[in-house]
Amino acid sequence: MSTDETTTVVVKPKPVKKLKPARKQVKAGDVERKETPQTGKEYNIWYNKWAGGDREDNYSNKVKSQTRCNIKKDSGLTRANTTGIRYCCLFYARGCCPYGWECDYLHTLPDPDDALPDSSKDCFARDKFSDYRDDMGGVGSFNRQNRTLYVGRIKETGPGPETEEIVTRHFKEWGEIERIRVLQYRSVAFVTYVSEFGAQFAKEAMACQSLDNDEILNVRWATEDPNPVQKVAEKRRLEEIGQEAIKARMDPRIVDAMRAVRALEDGDMLDDEGEVVEEPEFGETGDPEPKRRRIELPPPQEAASEPPPQPLGLLSADTMEGLKYFAEIRKRNGVSLGVINSKTVPPKPLTSGLGVADYGSDEED
């Protein structure tokens, strides 16, 4: 006699790694502050440069960043974890926060599933604007959810796949990447993150940084993708996000009631969990075929065998039936059809056509 023994394997969840207090990324005096070389007479605070300097001078004045954030080493607990502030530290993203665990902002990557209290601010609590700057820099716009970064001035030392691997290795540290597109021989790459927060963090973390060839990157917001397929996909994604957000805020009882009303209109049956019940129906082959159960409506009444009366002249069949009905009532009540009021005009004989000219008031002579 043999017995079947089943062994149940219990998989223990991985313990959540506790964060340690955040370390100070730099010490006072480690970062040398350099003023922007003056190329004009007025300083434009919107573009953070001197007015009057042309574009080439602006690029040539770029200096490589002295610090860079290291997520594994620099992440940790700060005062924000106690006070409940959900915004990240801007200087932590740039790798130059001197406060460490004493900082009032988070020293971790932004959580893509955690909604910020104000949608008009980025993950660093900076106010967005209604439109982008002409150079696509700055904080960004609150009228568009931009998840794509433009990465320029890349030094290409190999084919396109090799450059794509280098860009992926450096940019995946700041969040989950959806896709990367490298324009070979143009020193340009487009990096699209799954979350907008990842793009916001990566833009500040990789500004004026280098990849593997000691270049100085130009990281900006990407313009809207002209590909119609991507436009449709992005629109569908935003609609799904909106539906999920509305569903999360609605009362579950209202959702169940709306689902029940829709099922009643469609003639479907719902189970206790609100799902449509499908009952098997045996077809011609004898195999059960799934089919939704619908409300059976009574069969329509059979039409009378007599053909419908045809209209005679200008009067329809319904009008003729009505005249016959009133004539029968007058006959039963003893009212003669020949009694005519003396104040009324005797009727004129019918003529061909509609007789529109014969219509008039009773007071006409």
Nearest CA to 137 among 46, 220, 36, 45? 220
Q: What is the pLDDT of residue 157?
A: 85
Choose the weakest-confidence range: 89-103, 148-162, 176-190, 242-256: 242-256
- Whether the per-residue pLDDT at 357 is higher than 70: the answer is no
| Residue 346 in this model has a pLDDT that exceeds 60 | no
In this predicted model, which residue has the larger pLDDT, 340 or 235? 235
User: What would the mean pLDDT of 99-103 be, rounded to a whole number?
Assistant: 94
CA nearest neighbour of 64 among 214, 193, 168: 214
Please tell me which residue, 42 or 154, carries the higher pLDDT value: 154
Query: Which of the two residues, 326 and 287, has the higher pLDDT score?
Result: 326
* 228 band by pLDDT with thresholds 50, 70 and 90: confident
**Looking at residues 321-344, what average pLDDT do you find?**
65
Q: Is the pLDDT of residue 361 over 70?
A: no
Q: What is the predicted pLDDT for the residue at 53? A: 58
What string of DSSP letters covers 25-88?
A: SS-TTSSPP-PPPP-SSEEETTTTEEET--HHHHHHT----S----HHHH-BB-THHHHT--PB
Distances from the Cα of 33 to the Cα of 29, 38, 61, 212, angstroms: 9, 15, 15, 25
| Structure confidence at residue 183 (pLDDT) | 92
Report residue 20 CA to chain centroid gap.
37
Question: What integer best gives the mean pLDDT of the chain?
Answer: 77
Least confident of 57-66, 71-80, 286-295: 286-295
Q: How many CB atoms lie within 10 A of CB 206?
A: 25
**What is the percent of the chain with per-residue pLDDT over 70, rounded to a whole number?**
69
- The number of angstroms, rounded, from the C-alpha of 216 to the middle of its chain's C-alpha atoms is 35
Q: Where are the domains of the chain?
A: 17-108, 231-265
Confidence check: pLDDT of 351 > 70: no
Q: How confident is the model at residue 176 (pLDDT cuts 50, 70, 90)?
A: very high
- Picking from 31-45, 54-68, 160-174, 265-279, which range would have the lowest pLDDT averaged per residue? 265-279
**Number of other CB atoms surrounding residue 223 within 10 Å:** 12
pTM of the model: 0.62
Residue that has been written with the tokens 């075929």 in this structure: 289
What is the spatial distance between Cα 45 and Cα 36, in angstroms, rounded to a whole number? 12
The pLDDT assigned to 244 comes to 78
> What is the chain's alpha carbon radius of gyration, rounded to the nearest angstrom?
40
Separation CA 150–CA 130 (nearest Å): 20
Torsion of CA 189, 169, 139, 77, to 10 degrees: 180
CA nearest 119: which of 30, 207, 242, 301?
A: 242
37 has a pLDDT exceeding 80: no
- Average pLDDT for 89-96: 95
Which range (43-57, 59-73, 114-128, 206-220) has the least confidence? 43-57
245: pLDDT strictly greater than 60: yes
Q: Determine the residue type at 167.
A: V
Any idea of the CA torsion for 273, 275, 281, 283, to the nearest 10 degrees? Answer: -150
